[in-house]
Amino acid sequence: MSMFYTGRHRAPSKSSQTGKRAGATMVAVAAVSLGTATAGAQSATAAPATQSTQSATAKASFSGLVKQGSRGTVVKQIQRKVGVTADGVFGPKTKAAVKRWQKRKGLAADGVVGPRTGTKMGLKSSSSRSTSTRSSRTSTRSVSSSSVLSTASSLVGTPYRSGGTTPSGFDCSGFTSYVYARHGKTLPRTAEQQRRSTSRVSSPRAGDLVFFGAPAWHVGIYAGNGKMYDAGNSRVDTTKRAIWTSAVTYGRV
């Protein structure tokens, strides 16, 4: 009888299986490493764009509103930009210069430094906030100037008294202090102290203080049209009269 031998399939050796598993593991690790490296590269590529965006955001634009009647440091910055005397007071000359500047830059020439004009000038938001507050206070003073004059007018005829600070008798600085106190404004006691505490202006308006001398030896309240309210001396009661000299300065409370 013939006998046939049928060979059995041999099971793979342990060393062969281990090698395959090790190879698969290495491929997986390589794939993970490649993915991590790719993600890192993408992140590195995106980083400059993010930084650029943050940098652009960091450059704060101007968000204030500065116009005629405003004053302060930011007004001086504007005045330097438009080429006028930097006295910190936004008057008619500054407004006209701002209009010219806006026209040259292709902006709406309204003479008001708002967000677009301010940003174009390179002004900072912190400055604008400060100035907006000052501008608001200036506006309040402007509105109340007629009330200041009304109070001053009501005291005409009050006798002069050296050192006087009440309606029973005033000296010059006592009179101005009393009038402004009635409107919530505190002034120092002497004429010179008042001169130093106010903002000097070249274009006075009714309600500003008018000072004689530097150091100031006399002070009154400007009434407009070259006149003032003041408590003169023992020969002159509190009155409204013409300013008799051009050698005066003006201060805004």
| pLDDT digits 0-9 by tens, 154-180 | 999 999 999 999 999 999 999 999 999
Measured distance CA(249)–CA(131) in Å, rounded:
24
pLDDT at 58: 41
| pLDDT digits 0-9 by tens, 198-213 | 999 999 999 999 999 9
pLDDT at 92: 85
Q: Domain 155-252 belongs to what topology?
A: endopeptidase fold (from Nostoc punctiforme) (3.90.1720)
CATH architecture of 73-133: Orthogonal Bundle (1.10)
pLDDT category of residue 67 using cuts at 50, 70 and 90 = confident
pLDDT at 56: 40
Per the model's pLDDT, the better-predicted residue between 4 and 92 turns out to be 92
- Tallying the residues shown for the chain, one arrives at 253
pLDDT at 48: 45
Per the model's pLDDT, the better-predicted residue between 102 and 50 turns out to be 102
pLDDT at 139: 44
Name beta bridge partners: 230.
239
Domain boundaries, the chain: 73-133, 155-252
Task: For residues 216-235, give the mean pLDDT.
Answer: 94
Whether the per-residue pLDDT at 78 is higher than 90: the answer is yes
| pLDDT digits 0-9 by tens, 123-153 | 875 443 444 444 444 444 443 688 899 999 9
